[in-house]
Amino acid sequence: GAVVSQHPSRVICKSGTSVKIECRSLDFQATTMFWYRQFPKKSLMLMATSNEGSKATYEQGVEKDKFLINHASLTLSTLTVTSAHPEDSSFYICSARVTGGMFEKLFFGSGTQLSVL
């Protein structure tokens, strides 16, 4: 199947710093990528939908100025957590959908565990 690479897999940072997470579709082009967040024992919660060449669409309650999303190419989307605080500690995971594909063609990265001290 298609491969989505997410990097880094784990990051520990100090409060107030910014962290960038990359999501790459390695063998297909993805006009749409999705960013999720998962708290322990909770669901994968959609944060935003990233569209290549245009602004991301954020879900209700997600601060767009805090979680900056850039989808500059058909194979790369980045999520930057700005001025991170301990409450931002969570598991972040991206996914990319094959252009024109249904959700069966939704491929996930392996996730990033963010710990903010």
Partner 1 sequence: DQQVKQNSPSLSVQEGRISILNCDYTNSMFDYFLWYKKYPAEGPTFLISISSIKDKNEDGRFTVFLNKSAKHLSLHIVPSQPGDSAVYFCAASAGNMLTFGGGTRLMVKP
Binding site for partner 1 (CB under 8 A): 1, 4, 6, 9, 34, 36, 41-46, 93, 95, 102-111
Report how far residue 117's alpha carbon sits from residue 24's, in angstroms, rounded to the nearest whole number. Answer: 27
Nearer to partner 1, 65 or 102 (CB): 102
Q: By C-alpha distance, which of 107, 51, 105 is closest to 74?
A: 51
**Minimum gap (Å) between residue 54 Cβ and partner 1:** 15
Report how far residue 3's alpha carbon sits from residue 19's, in angstroms, rounded to the nearest whole number. Answer: 23
**Minimum gap (Å) between residue 39 Cβ and partner 1:** 10
Nearer to partner 1, 66 or 105 (CB): 105
- Residue 3 identity (one-letter amino acid): V
